[in-house]
Amino acid sequence: MAEKKTMLTSRLYGIRDLRLEQMPIPQPGPGEVLLKIATVGTCGSDVHYYLEGGIGDAIVTDPITMGHEFSAWIVDLGEGVEGLEPGQLCAVEPAIPCGKCEYCLHGHPNICPDVRFCGTPPIDGVFAEYAVMPAENCFPLPAGFSPGDGALLEPLGIAIHTVDLSHLKIGQTVAVLGAGPVGLLTAAVAKAAGAGAIYVTEPIAHRRQFALDYCADAVFNPETEDVVTAIMEATGGRGVDVAFEAAGAETTPDQAARVARPGGKVIVIGIPSDDRMLMTASVVRRKGLTIKLVRRMKHTYPRAIRLVQSGMVDVARLATHTFPLERIQEAFELVAGYKDGVLRAMIEIETDMD
Amino acid sequence: MAEKKTMLTSRLYGIRDLRLEQMPIPQPGPGEVLLKIATVGTCGSDVHYYLEGGIGDAIVTDPITMGHEFSAWIVDLGEGVEGLEPGQLCAVEPAIPCGKCEYCLHGHPNICPDVRFCGTPPIDGVFAEYAVMPAENCFPLPAGFSPGDGALLEPLGIAIHTVDLSHLKIGQTVAVLGAGPVGLLTAAVAKAAGAGAIYVTEPIAHRRQFALDYCADAVFNPETEDVVTAIMEATGGRGVDVAFEAAGAETTPDQAARVARPGGKVIVIGIPSDDRMLMTASVVRRKGLTIKLVRRMKHTYPRAIRLVQSGMVDVARLATHTFPLERIQEAFELVAGYKDGVLRAMIEIETDMD
Amino acid sequence: MAEKKTMLTSRLYGIRDLRLEQMPIPQPGPGEVLLKIATVGTCGSDVHYYLEGGIGDAIVTDPITMGHEFSAWIVDLGEGVEGLEPGQLCAVEPAIPCGKCEYCLHGHPNICPDVRFCGTPPIDGVFAEYAVMPAENCFPLPAGFSPGDGALLEPLGIAIHTVDLSHLKIGQTVAVLGAGPVGLLTAAVAKAAGAGAIYVTEPIAHRRQFALDYCADAVFNPETEDVVTAIMEATGGRGVDVAFEAAGAETTPDQAARVARPGGKVIVIGIPSDDRMLMTASVVRRKGLTIKLVRRMKHTYPRAIRLVQSGMVDVARLATHTFPLERIQEAFELVAGYKDGVLRAMIEIETDMD
Amino acid sequence: MAEKKTMLTSRLYGIRDLRLEQMPIPQPGPGEVLLKIATVGTCGSDVHYYLEGGIGDAIVTDPITMGHEFSAWIVDLGEGVEGLEPGQLCAVEPAIPCGKCEYCLHGHPNICPDVRFCGTPPIDGVFAEYAVMPAENCFPLPAGFSPGDGALLEPLGIAIHTVDLSHLKIGQTVAVLGAGPVGLLTAAVAKAAGAGAIYVTEPIAHRRQFALDYCADAVFNPETEDVVTAIMEATGGRGVDVAFEAAGAETTPDQAARVARPGGKVIVIGIPSDDRMLMTASVVRRKGLTIKLVRRMKHTYPRAIRLVQSGMVDVARLATHTFPLERIQEAFELVAGYKDGVLRAMIEIETDMD
């Protein structure tokens, strides 16, 4: 990479306004590594920025490079970096917590108030040829992992953290409301964790079919049936041990509460557009429910690698489409429109370092 | 009690329509005891029935005897009852769970779907001279407990269960939103459990003062100040480890979420009139909160007795007024109107069995 | 079953002294069912009684019918029994907790001090043609379950409870010390619960091979290698997240402590002959370990049925040998001698009710 | 402190061989502070080194400065230190975890394998006039804290961590085996956390009396009575919810197991001389106990400060004796001999910085 000084990046200038630009290649400081980006997934939060220009009070005001689900090749090591070598393909954790606050010190970097997160304003992400990251964010991948697999360890990590929060016991039953990539991965992780039955609700037909093929025991369409009644019937009137809300729709948190059994759990992953979480008070109260909210993930990469390596979770199937960086806007339009059976559209930047 | 065949009861016929009536004295079956009612508290849920004729879909259609926070004297033992003796003053647990469902067997009778609960339609309660209850619901009180203390072990049990749910650690900080009797008892139990600081919000002046005298480190008035800002400032911007929502107002669940620290807990005890629990999604999500709903209580009587006996919690102070059964409507009007500094108005039916 | 008044039973009179005797067929009382015994496993605790005449202070003084891992056909219903029908094949929970003590009420019937347990002195077990059990102990088996599968749900339940106690997270690593039936089932349940790697130690060659074929990632022989060193090397020096002690040997609890990672868990299932649990204090202390002891199981039958039905755990492979009741002594000699690759020898009493 | 280049230290050369020596005053690096030592407690582990020359495989081979329970005045700030000021009196956490290992990142620095710990070979401690520590180890003390109070926050932190591990619920009962300073503080913290009854066993008469005066409901002498029977009787045959082993004697772990109720917890803090933890297998197994080992503490200083400030725990009473650094050997002889009612002998080095 010797002489090259600039790199291609995709910059978001506003709603549906992505531009390709040359930017300076960053240099790694002490404890950091220079990465050649391999593959980057187009996450739902990226789509929020692309379509709406923000998520809640995180607004895109200045042009920004999005992208945070990624794998990369190590190119250069900053001062003092040990245990990594140029040429290694890594999955890269996109969050850089402060490491000093109460939450970091207590082992919860996912709720660090001072976290810097790739591709979240004002921090640039990795829809670009190169990036610099702390060495400890890089997890070298075993043989057999493709760059796409590596990129998908990020949403898989979310799913692992989500199932961790549920304290699911082997044989317990589960509902997943919403069969987008994170909902599907949550279902797959729940299956790998021994879920006794998995019920999935999803309005899009091909996603319902995917869920069935992937790991669901039954799927329901919220546009044509009362999914609460359907899941209650499927469970003999009892409800599920854990209901995962992965849709971010206006009604899904309350549905999740309604399909959970007394004493059950509701785990909310979805990000609603209207920034409201509304449930029926008497429903949640009479069942004495526990509701947990998913904030990113913590400490999941080593386990994510093991799950994929052992075949317990198949992430590759979620990568339904691939595009080069130059055609990233096409990828976003595809994902935003739920077209062509898309789940994750992957941006391939460097597929082979040799 | 030999010859007497009927007893005085207070029957709710409709909104604000309480009538004194003679009813037959019930007879204890096997495993049951006949109780002479000592003292009964006027709980907020009774007030809901009195003022609104129901709570959610639990509607008063037929006349009913309310009342469930009570102490009583054992009068007669049904067949096979052991370990109790006539003349004992007992605190009496008002819930009669089925004992056979999954939740009962797993140790969670508070979420038993088939529970019968004194004074909840269609089960008659104890604003009456006598009642029959299962022997295992009766907890004999040690010397030194008054009938009023015994009655107050019921809301104290709610408060213990509430603090149990929070897994409060010694030295952690707490907010209690709402200083009605259950909010105050929750604050007192949190204090006894080692809470490092307790912040209470409450619109009624005498309740704020009571909270301060009782156990709060600071109190705030939601009608004149922004309580979220006030608690955030009081905690140096961090928020509290546990926020207890004990008001049942429209805005308090969201306030609870806002004053909880990242990774903190929100425990909801309040019963809102509009049956909605609404929180701001980005607030609960970015902090990765855990929200738990309080459904009655479980297994708390022995511990409640110990807390009062040891002086760790002073329940007697909450019994601000007492009335005979004949004047129960006066008591309800007092409580419903938050008049005269009332917290709990106690109905005294039999103060001394000698 | 009309006229028959007596039934064949196998009675233990003393060490290695099993006698076939006719005993009266019991009659079901209210809430009970009369069962025709289908298949009964020969558990390690039975072997303790057979070889040593007791377990700790539970001594066989009078002749007793052993046997508690069993399936049975419902023959007759006592008064008031609902939800069961004659002819159903059931897995039957062998423990009859008191249902009234603190531990039963709190959902922990496995530690009920007043439990009656089939085949534990002085309660007769089910190496017999008939038995009477409470209706709630009977779990009707779905189509496709053999009587042998049903009997094996009991040790599977132990394994489920064991893994429950560990709070194993998906992807975590596990060691199982001892590959007898319970150790193997624990390994299988851990696998089904998403264990990332499973290391098994076992001195008997065919059991090591079985473990490898069944679910282990690696097996080690404690008679020829230092298993602590071997597991530490296999885990890159870290140790496992959870170490299950399923051998009951003198040295295995300490080995379990040594192979657990800092902050890890040791779950002890094995029953040692010398009634001592000894660990090195500085090892358990410096790693800040948590040690949990397995006492029977609780609430596991519905989940055990689901695990077998879904194919997540294959119990049938453990039933290596079968014998009729008349040849039960042969079965015990086989099991006690670890001969012929035996894991569980099953006593088949009634294979088909038609 | 300008010109002074050397400082007085107390160096352990071997068993009972403490020598006063001049050593160079260390200089703070980036992120570190130079501290003038205020008060240092003589911990039981120091006494192990003093009397036996080591703890398990941690052996004193070269001369070492012991001492780790301490308060200190900030003298000078290294590069980049913010939030601290010269002249502040601080409690100082003696452990310097690596901050990079799995356990540190997961929030468990107390089990960091690469921790450096003041006064544990080969790291020098603070029986000296000065020391350098990382800024984040320093917790400025509010007005009203004496140097001795500050030093005692270290053993108080151990006690807080100990009670944290027990998940004690308000009103639960507790036994503490051993009334040395850590046992007493554990009892005091359990009391502040709402323990319903506290039973203490201790062979030394004045410590039993201290425990009674301090917070115990009853005390027992293991040299003259069967403490297991005594505690079982005191709890009506039930046993305690949590048994804290704080004696490090050969028999106390088994006693702790015997006095715990079924399903109860045993928390082991004591450090036995023979490095064995032995319990009766059938006792721990039949009750299904959970045993946890205390390894130092984590994240306790802010809470420890709050407990002392609020008056919930009185640490000052434990400081029974004080000595200047020059007379440290006298202090150790006093403590080692359990003389004169000693609990903690405090070494006062700099009582006032003005």
C294: contact with D, CB 8 A cutoff: yes
Average pLDDT over residues B16-21: 96
Domains identified in chain D, total number: 2
**Among the listed residues C283, C327, C302, the one whose alpha carbon sits nearest the alpha carbon of residue C90:** C302
Does A106 sit within 8 Å of D136, measured CB to CB?
no
Could you give the angle at which helices C301-309 and C147-166 cross, rounded to 10 degrees?
A: 110
Residue-number span of the structural domain to which A193 is assigned: 156-293
Whether the Cβ atoms of residue A344 and residue A147 lie closer than 8 Å to each other: no
Whether the Cβ atoms of residue B27 and residue B131 lie closer than 8 Å to each other: no
Contacts of D301 in chain A (CB under 8 A): none
- Residues 6 or more apart whose CB falls under 8 angstroms from that of D213 comprise none
D302 in any annotated domain: no
Given a cut of 50, whether residue A172 has pLDDT beyond it is yes
pLDDT digits (tens, 9 = 90+) for A229-245: 999 999 999 999 999 99
Whether the Cβ atoms of residue A178 and residue A201 lie closer than 8 Å to each other: yes
For the range C306-309, what are the long-range contacts, defined as Cβ-Cβ under 8 Å and sequence gap of 24 or more? C306/A171, C306/A196, C306/A197, C307/A170, C307/A171, C307/A194, C307/A196, C307/C156, C307/C160, C307/C189, C307/C192, C308/C145, C308/C149, C308/C153, C308/C156, C309/C142, C309/C144, C309/C145
- pLDDT 10s per residue in chain C (354 long)? 456 899 999 999 999 999 999 999 999 999 999 999 999 999 988 998 999 888 777 788 899 999 999 999 999 999 999 999 999 999 999 999 999 999 999 999 999 999 999 999 889 999 999 999 999 999 999 999 999 999 999 999 999 999 999 999 999 999 999 999 999 999 999 999 999 999 999 999 999 999 999 999 999 999 999 999 999 999 999 999 999 999 999 999 999 999 999 999 999 999 888 899 999 999 999 999 999 999 999 999 999 999 999 999 999 999 999 999 999 999 999 999 998 999 999 999 998 876
Given B172, B197, B307, which is nearest D170 (Cβ)? Answer: B307
Instruction: Give the separation between CA A154 and CA D153, rounded to whole angstroms.
Output: 41
Examine the domain organization and report whether B324 and B205 are in the same domain: no
C304 in any annotated domain: no
Higher pLDDT, C51 or A353: C51
**The CATH number of the domain where C226 resides is what?**
3.40.50.720
Examine the domain organization and report whether D227 and D92 are in the same domain: no
D104: contact with C, CB 8 A cutoff: no
Question: What is the residue-averaged pLDDT of chain A?
Answer: 96
Alpha-carbon distances, residue C289 vs C199, C261, D111, D258, D269 (angstroms)? 19, 8, 10, 20, 12
Cβ of A263: how many Cβ atoms within 10 Å?
Answer: 19
A306 in any annotated domain: no
- How many angstroms separate the first and last alpha carbons of chain A? 12
| DSSP sequence for C200-255 | EE-SSHHHHHHHHHHT-SEEE-TTTS-HHHHHHHHTTTS-EEEEEE-S--SSHHHH
What is the per-residue burial (b if ≥16 Cβ within 10 Å, else e) of D171-190?
Answer: bbbbbbbbbbbbbbbbbbbb
Q: What is the pLDDT of residue D259?
A: 98
The residue type found at A134 is P
D238: contact with C, CB 8 A cutoff: yes
C307 in any annotated domain: no
**The CATH number of the domain where B61 resides is what?**
3.90.180.10
Q: What is the pLDDT of residue D2?
A: 52
**Among the listed residues B334, B9, B319, B345, the one whose alpha carbon sits nearest the alpha carbon of residue B146:** B319
Average pLDDT over residues A281-300: 97
Q: Does pTM top 0.90 for this prediction? A: yes
- Residues 6 or more apart whose CB falls under 8 angstroms from that of A57 comprise B282
The residue type found at C284 is V
Examine the domain organization and report whether B276 and B333 are in the same domain: no
Provide the shortest C-alpha distance from residue B186 to chain A (in Å). 17
State phi, psi for C103 to the nearest 5 degrees: -75, -40
Quick one: closest CA in B to D302, which residue? B171
Q: What is the pLDDT of residue D1?
A: 46
Number of Cβ pairs < 8 A linking chain B and chain D: 59
Cβ of A338: how many Cβ atoms within 10 Å?
Answer: 14
**Which of C84, C105, C111 should one mutate to test binding to chain B, selecting the residue with the greatest count of B CBs within 10 A?**
C105
Asked if residue A122 has a cis previous peptide bond (ω within 30° of 0), the answer is: yes
Q: What is the pLDDT of residue C331?
A: 97
Given C99, C100, C107, which is nearest B106 (Cβ)? Answer: C107
Residues 117-176 of B with CB under 8 A from D: 160, 163-164, 167, 169-172
Alpha-carbon distances, residue B319 vs A350, B120, B142, B151, B335 (angstroms)? 74, 23, 19, 10, 12
Q: Helix and strand tally (H, E) in chain C?
A: 10, 21
A327: contact with D, CB 8 A cutoff: no
Instruction: Give the separation between CA A273 and CA A331, rounded to whole angstroms.
Output: 22
Would strands A130-134 and A95-96 be described as parallel, antiparallel, or unpaired? unpaired
Examine the domain organization and report whether A184 and A146 are in the same domain: no
Examine the domain organization and report whether D260 and D321 are in the same domain: no
Examine the domain organization and report whether D146 and D276 are in the same domain: no
D27 in any annotated domain: yes
- Residues 6 or more apart whose CB falls under 8 angstroms from that of C354 comprise none
DSSP for residue A142: P
Contacts of B106 in chain D (CB under 8 A): none
A309 in any annotated domain: no
- How many angstroms separate the first and last alpha carbons of chain B? 13
Examine the domain organization and report whether B160 and B145 are in the same domain: no
Instruction: Give the separation between CA C136 and CA C93, rounded to whole angstroms.
Output: 9
Given a cut of 90, whether residue A59 has pLDDT beyond it is no
Does B100 sit within 8 Å of C136, measured CB to CB?
yes
B310 in any annotated domain: no
Given A164, A171, A192, which is nearest C160 (Cβ)? Answer: A171
Q: Which residues of chain D have pLDDT under 50?
A: 1
Instruction: Give the separation between CA A188 and CA A160, rounded to whole angstroms.
Output: 10
Q: What is the pLDDT of residue C2?
A: 52
Q: What is the pLDDT of residue C58?
A: 79
A299 in any annotated domain: no
Provide the shortest C-alpha distance from residue B213 to chain C (in Å). 36
Does A292 sit within 8 Å of B285, measured CB to CB?
no
Does B100 sit within 8 Å of C99, measured CB to CB?
no
D327: contact with A, CB 8 A cutoff: no
Does A288 sit within 8 Å of B108, measured CB to CB?
yes
| DSSP sequence for B249-293 | -SSHHHHHHHHEEEEEEEEE----TT-EEEEEHHHHHHTT-EEEE
Examine the domain organization and report whether D219 and D273 are in the same domain: yes
Examine the domain organization and report whether A11 and A100 are in the same domain: yes
Report the complex ipTM.
0.96
Q: Write down the residue that tokens 């009729």 correspond to.
A: C324
Whether the Cβ atoms of residue B93 and residue B72 lie closer than 8 Å to each other: no
Higher pLDDT, A246 or C57: A246
Q: What is the pLDDT of residue B2?
A: 52
Quick one: closest CA in B to A166, which residue? B290
The radius of gyration of chain B's CA atoms, rounded to the nearest angstrom, is 20
Instruction: Give the separation between CA A90 and CA A140, rounded to whole angstroms.
Output: 4
Provide the shortest C-alpha distance from residue C188 to chain A (in Å). 11
pLDDT digits (tens, 9 = 90+) for B218-241: 999 999 999 999 999 999 999 999
Q: What is the pLDDT of residue A2?
A: 52
Examine the domain organization and report whether C123 and C102 are in the same domain: yes
Longest pairwise C-alpha distance within chain A: 67
Examine the domain organization and report whether C185 and C91 are in the same domain: no
Examine the domain organization and report whether B336 and B283 are in the same domain: no
